[in-house]
Structure 1
Amino acid sequence: MTAQASHTHGRTDVPLLDETIGQCLDRAVAAHPEREALVDVPSGRRWTYAELGRDVDRVARGLRARGVGRGDRVGIWALNCPEWVLVQYATARLGAILVNINPAYRTHELAYALNQSGVGLLVAQPEYRTSDYRAMVAEVREECPGLRETLWIGDPEFLELDGDGGFPADLAPDDPINIQYTSGTTGFPKGATLSHRNILNNGFWVGELVGYTEQDRICLPVPFYHCFGMVMGNLAALSHGACVVIPGQGFDPAATLHAVQAERATSLYGVPTMFIAELGLADFATYDLTSLRTGIMAGSPCPVEVMKRVQTEMHMAEVAIAYGMTETSPVSTQTRRDDDLEHRTGTVGRVLPHLEVKVVEPETGRTVGRGEPGELCTRGYSVMIGYWNEPERTAEAIDDGGWMHTGDLAVMHEDGYLAVVGRIKDMIIRGGENVYPREIEEFLHTHPAIADVQVVGVPDERYGEEVCAFVVLRDPDGTLGAEEVAEFCRGRLAHYKTPRHVHVVEGFPMTVSGKVRKNELRERAARALAG
């Protein structure tokens, strides 16, 4: 009997949203004019949907008066703040393309993003902590001849944005509306270009699967400059008439829990390390988190013990795990509200409505049987238009059949749920054995001294590659060596999966989306071995 193929699609009777982001905003304003739409906890500023619609239109008219039109690129270089949301929706009103620029960028990366996308107008915040954005923009002006103007958030001229006239009436859902630079591990970042249809529908379905209504209040400590914040957060809220709560510009665990308590948030987002930091606060038990019922955890796998505490101590019984990538708007799979602990920690859920996923042999493209590992591919409304002005790199990622090749290794279970077992390039081949870091990481999370762990392969003369574990300890002053880890693994983990090298670290290098930069860990381990 032939094994069932690792290929499935999301069934639903509910059609896709066939509208622009501006039209969705109009619907929300008409349906919920007096409901809160946006709350900025640090400044105390609040907007109802009627007020949000009014201010979005004001900003859109101001941008139009400054020469911004359909298809023009408007950069935004800022951390989480209400102005970010206003500009997100104002550019959509105009049919302009919002270019998200990571606030961690410095002059070299900034100049590349501005020039590669052709940004004509930049909206930026003047400074944040030790970052002087005004000085950096001044430094790159000569390198960026296409940059006509910079508007500074907080300056009077930004607050006075206004103008005359209406907005384009012929905008289409398939128009490009957003460019997000993926944090590539090699070479320059690529500008994933996304449409209204891409991101509005993805936000809508992410929200549907966690049961959002206009009663929900979503606390977003995740960045707006990434899909996690601006799509899964802002657009999920907009498409359901829910409220976005901003706890701070950057992530702070205490500020986040304060915002949940003060605003009676029903949903909280984060990557696992954020939840670990919140649970680790000395005064965690003093926060009233009983208003929470759901949320989304994404970016990297969630340890079982962390998930248990999130569901019980944080009252997030319906928390969802989501998986995706910027190029797919971003979510392709997600757990459901009634899934058990095993599905929430051992899988990344099942395919979203209106999407297809399959698992294939990377070398041949053959769809593998369920239970076999292979490359995860996805197809449907969520797949990006392409990489901005890079047709060759687009063709490398999206095949002739419209399938986006993720580069992730996954296994589809019999029930259609998927487990991501690593990146193709992260898989360790030790003495001919395929070793999946995720399996070892999950096991080592059960060690009482280990708070977090990442496993990578390092060069080895005898076996080709050897297993190396980077660990963060629960006790900052504690120690843990390879011999102790080997003893913990003995009899419980195959010998070839047992880490030969163990490094104790304070934390891991991360991408903006919360993924650990394993290439940097591999390089660090290789340097240490070279001595």
Structure 2
Amino acid sequence: MTLSRLNRFCVLKKLSSRLYSSSSSDSSSPLRGPSYYHHVGKEPLVYRSVGQQLELTARNYPDREGIVSVHENKRLTFSKILDQCDRLAASFKRIGLERGDRVGIWAPNYVFWYISMLAASRAGLISVGINPAFQASEVEYCINKVNLKAIVAPDVFKTTHYYDILKNICPEIGDCEPGKLSSRTAPSLKSVIINSKDKFPGAFQYEDMFNYATEDAITQIQNSQRDIQPDWPCNIQFTSGTTGHPKAAVIGHFSLVNNGIHIAQRNELNTKHHKICVQVPLFHAYGVTITILAGMPYGSTLVLPSAYFSPKDSIAAINQEKCTVIHGTPTMYVDLIKKVIDSNAILTTPEIAVTGGASCSPKLFQNIKHHLNVKKVKTVFGQTEATAVVGQSLPGETEDHVLHTVGHVTDHIEIKVIDKDGNTVPFGQPGELCIRGYLNCLGYYGDEEKTRELIGHDGWLKTGDQFILQEDGYGRIVGRLKEMVIRGGENIFPKEIEDFLNTHPDIMENHVIGVPDERMGEELCAFIRLRDGRPHLTHDDLKAFGAGKIAHFKIPRHIRIVHDFPKTVSGKIQKFKLVQQYKDSLDE
């Protein structure tokens, strides 16, 4: 390129930047810029591993409780957490695990889940969260998908016997020494660690693991932290499984630590010592990043009310431990509010409620603030493949921002919104949300083709979310691209209908899907959970309620009244199961 051409190129680039800058305040500009926003953070990113972050927290808050498990009656300070993690990390090495090996953690919310995940990071291993509700075929899939070398689990929870399921997958475990499993069905798996007072053939006892670590081995773990690179993989998250076989997203130390710091700052965990009521499962991105990693930098205390979500136990834990923050998905808040009302409970200590994992309707936001007696309701929005959070509430934002957006673009990332041809749409127009930055996952484990579909050669990650971006960096979710319903040529997004139906006084919760229709191609079907004692709802009832408020073609043609919804352990509604329920109802 000649000098004159280079100068001309620079002038054009500056002009383009002025015309299309997302931070421009000139609303009179004749050109409306493309939906692109780069939010440069006020503080630089930190180059730190998860293990180094834990060590820093233990140094800053040694005597502060890092985790309190109410249902186990266990309390650990950050200094004790670091000690247990290093002992377990040394024992992981002792039983043959090496850097980069995958360790599965298959359990509900127990302290040993938290310790095992952080110990794996201190040992340079990769922790793999496995849904505690998974059964034999699903667990076998997870083991073989990422080639687990070890798995940590309880012996039993409720009706699930974890060791028996593993023995069903790997019958050879009954005849082998611990750490020397050799199975035809799961060839990578060598060690099974069971958290139980009882001993099981072929398995290590979790509590015994802490006795395997010598002081020299612990010192080696401590000294090895400088060698564990922040760019290395740290955690594998299986996608939620709302649409079929889960994929395995690989998340790095760097993205976990930095996303956690930004989440903590936006959720105001840096303002005081907060205690967080943890209703979400630890194995999920909400649990790993938004809860564990965000709770760590400023010494927040995680409070586990129960192994699985229980509104009754949450209320008791909030009041007993004086929790100032609540974490939950929208469906969890619906159930928590119902329990508060039914039991005449009064919550006095919560200041902030954080909702994430799925979109939250404006009506539910208002109910959370009113019934849970919190000062602020904050939202986080993102996805597993983006570590956790892409956008979230800002401190001091208006109620309108809380009610009608999914938050502001988080620090140090770029986002844009594109049409079906990959072209960036103007601000205010819907399209697919794409993100680029430190928080993008490292890819899907063992699946290069799916990784290329997810992240382009230019580094943009396609989320699959239909999104509207505003010029101020706030955005709104319209729905999932795959959930869009085309009714007689009209594009309808279920979330809009769901938010509207949630304002009906008789409706507690609803979810809308598209179903086949011979005339219109697709019609809307609303699965509705009514408030206790409320009458049956009909299509005519909804037509009357929607008259003058919403277009007639957006009123669901079909209605199914249900008492509960099929959902993942993380609280996401499995709409593919609602589709099957609708089909089954036609056959009855």
For the aligned pair, the TM-score class normalised by the smaller chain equals: over 0.9
Q: Please tell me whether residue 210 in structure 1 is matched to residue 270 in structure 2.
A: no
Query: Contact 1:258 / 1:287 at 8 angstroms: preserved in 2?
Result: no
- Give the equivalent residue in structure 1 for 2:209: 161
SS at match of 1:50: helix
Query: Contact 1:62 / 1:161 at 8 angstroms: preserved in 2?
Result: yes
Residues 410-436 of structure 1: CA distance to partner in whole angstroms, max 9, x if unpaired? 111233211111111111111111111
For residues 395 and 130 of structure 1, the distance between their equivalents in structure 2, rounded to whole angstroms, comes to 40
175-184 or 365-374: bigger deviation: 175-184
> How many angstroms does 1:39 deviate by?
0.6
Residues 498-525 of structure 1: CA distance to partner in whole angstroms, max 9, x if unpaired? 1111111112211333221222222322
* Aligned mate of 2:436, from 353, 358, 379: 379
139-148 or 93-102: bigger deviation: 139-148
For residues 74 and 341 of structure 2, the distance between their equivalents in structure 1, rounded to whole angstroms, comes to 27
Correspondences of 1:135-174 after superposition (within 5 Å):
135-141=164-170, 142=183, 143-155=185-197, 157-162=205-210, 163-164=213-214, 165=217, 166-167=220-221, 168=224, 169-174=226-231
> How many angstroms does 1:530 deviate by?
6.0
> How many angstroms does 1:120 deviate by?
1.1
For residues 189 and 285 of structure 1, the distance between their equivalents in structure 2, rounded to whole angstroms, comes to 38
Query: Contact 2:275 / 2:325 at 8 angstroms: preserved in 1?
Result: yes
416-425 or 474-483: bigger deviation: 474-483
Correspondences of 1:182-193 after superposition (within 5 Å):
182-185=239-242, 188-193=245-250
For residues 56 and 524 of structure 2, the distance between their equivalents in structure 1, rounded to whole angstroms, comes to 54
For residues 337 and 316 of structure 2, the distance between their equivalents in structure 1, rounded to whole angstroms, comes to 13
> How many angstroms does 1:374 deviate by?
0.4
Q: Please tell me whether residue 118 in structure 1 is matched to residue 147 in structure 2.
A: yes
> How many angstroms does 1:138 deviate by?
0.1
Query: Contact 2:242 / 2:568 at 8 angstroms: preserved in 1?
Result: no
Residues 115-138 of structure 1: CA distance to partner in whole angstroms, max 9, x if unpaired? 111111110011111111111000
Query: Contact 1:210 / 1:295 at 8 angstroms: preserved in 2?
Result: no
Residues 80-139 of structure 1: CA distance to partner in whole angstroms, max 9, x if unpaired? 011111111100001101011111111111111111111111100111111111110000
* Aligned mate of 2:396, from 317, 325, 338: 338
Structure possessing the higher radius of gyration over alpha carbons: 2
For residues 227 and 57 of structure 1, the distance between their equivalents in structure 2, rounded to whole angstroms, comes to 24
For residues 10 and 350 of structure 1, the distance between their equivalents in structure 2, rounded to whole angstroms, comes to 9
| Residue identity in the other structure for 1:12 | G
Query: Contact 1:429 / 1:435 at 8 angstroms: preserved in 2?
Result: yes
Q: Please tell me whether residue 228 in structure 1 is matched to residue 286 in structure 2.
A: yes
Residues 333-355 of structure 1: CA distance to partner in whole angstroms, max 9, x if unpaired? 11123233332232111110011
Query: Contact 1:409 / 1:420 at 8 angstroms: preserved in 2?
Result: yes
Q: Please tell me whether residue 464 in structure 1 is matched to residue 464 in structure 2.
A: no
The answer for unaligned runs of 5 or more in structure 2 is 1-29, 171-182, 199-204
The percentage of counterpart residues that share the same residue type is: 36
| Residue identity in the other structure for 1:154 | S
For residues 328 and 91 of structure 1, the distance between their equivalents in structure 2, rounded to whole angstroms, comes to 21
Residues 27-64 of structure 1: CA distance to partner in whole angstroms, max 9, x if unpaired? 11111111111111112211111111111111111111
Query: Contact 1:482 / 1:499 at 8 angstroms: preserved in 2?
Result: yes
* Aligned mate of 2:332, from 274, 278, 281: 274
Q: Please tell me whether residue 265 in structure 1 is matched to residue 307 in structure 2.
A: no
The verdict on how the C-alpha distance between 1:80 and 1:185 changes in structure 2, with shifts beyond 3 A counting, is closer
Query: Contact 1:329 / 1:383 at 8 angstroms: preserved in 2?
Result: yes
474-483 or 292-301: bigger deviation: 474-483
* Aligned mate of 1:429, from 479, 482, 486: 486
For residues 30 and 352 of structure 1, the distance between their equivalents in structure 2, rounded to whole angstroms, comes to 28
For residues 13 and 507 of structure 1, the distance between their equivalents in structure 2, rounded to whole angstroms, comes to 44
The verdict on how the C-alpha distance between 1:133 and 1:285 changes in structure 2, with shifts beyond 3 A counting, is closer
Query: Contact 2:242 / 2:575 at 8 angstroms: preserved in 1?
Result: no
For residues 64 and 33 of structure 2, the distance between their equivalents in structure 1, rounded to whole angstroms, comes to 48
- Give the equivalent residue in structure 2 for 1:74: 103
Residues 277-306 of structure 1: CA distance to partner in whole angstroms, max 9, x if unpaired? 111116667545222111310122223332
Query: Contact 1:59 / 1:161 at 8 angstroms: preserved in 2?
Result: yes
TM-score with structure 2 length normalisation? Answer: 0.87
> How many angstroms does 1:527 deviate by?
4.1
* Aligned mate of 1:29, from 34, 40, 58: 58
The verdict on how the C-alpha distance between 1:285 and 1:10 changes in structure 2, with shifts beyond 3 A counting, is farther
For residues 282 and 235 of structure 2, the distance between their equivalents in structure 1, rounded to whole angstroms, comes to 12
The verdict on how the C-alpha distance between 1:475 and 1:295 changes in structure 2, with shifts beyond 3 A counting, is closer
Residues 221-268 of structure 1: CA distance to partner in whole angstroms, max 9, x if unpaired? 100010111211011111221111111100000101111111111111
Query: Contact 1:427 / 1:434 at 8 angstroms: preserved in 2?
Result: yes
| Residue identity in the other structure for 1:159 | E
> How many angstroms does 1:187 deviate by?
5.0
The verdict on how the C-alpha distance between 1:299 and 1:68 changes in structure 2, with shifts beyond 3 A counting, is same
Query: Contact 1:123 / 1:152 at 8 angstroms: preserved in 2?
Result: yes
- Give the equivalent residue in structure 1 for 2:173: none
* Aligned mate of 1:315, from 357, 373, 378: 373
- Give the equivalent residue in structure 1 for 2:416: 358
The answer for unaligned runs of 5 or more in structure 1 is none
SS at match of 1:319: strand
> How many angstroms does 1:67 deviate by?
1.1
> How many angstroms does 1:185 deviate by?
4.8
Q: Over aligned residue pairs, what C-alpha RMSD do you find? A: 1.7
The verdict on how the C-alpha distance between 1:240 and 1:511 changes in structure 2, with shifts beyond 3 A counting, is same
For residues 126 and 556 of structure 2, the distance between their equivalents in structure 1, rounded to whole angstroms, comes to 47
The verdict on how the C-alpha distance between 1:367 and 1:98 changes in structure 2, with shifts beyond 3 A counting, is same
Residues 367-412 of structure 1: CA distance to partner in whole angstroms, max 9, x if unpaired? 1111111001111111000000110110011111111111110111
For residues 512 and 344 of structure 1, the distance between their equivalents in structure 2, rounded to whole angstroms, comes to 26
- Give the equivalent residue in structure 2 for 1:87: 116
- Give the equivalent residue in structure 1 for 2:20: none
The verdict on how the C-alpha distance between 1:292 and 1:284 changes in structure 2, with shifts beyond 3 A counting, is farther
The verdict on how the C-alpha distance between 1:56 and 1:17 changes in structure 2, with shifts beyond 3 A counting, is same
483-492 or 230-239: bigger deviation: 483-492
The verdict on how the C-alpha distance between 1:260 and 1:185 changes in structure 2, with shifts beyond 3 A counting, is closer
For residues 138 and 342 of structure 1, the distance between their equivalents in structure 2, rounded to whole angstroms, comes to 54
The verdict on how the C-alpha distance between 1:491 and 1:281 changes in structure 2, with shifts beyond 3 A counting, is same
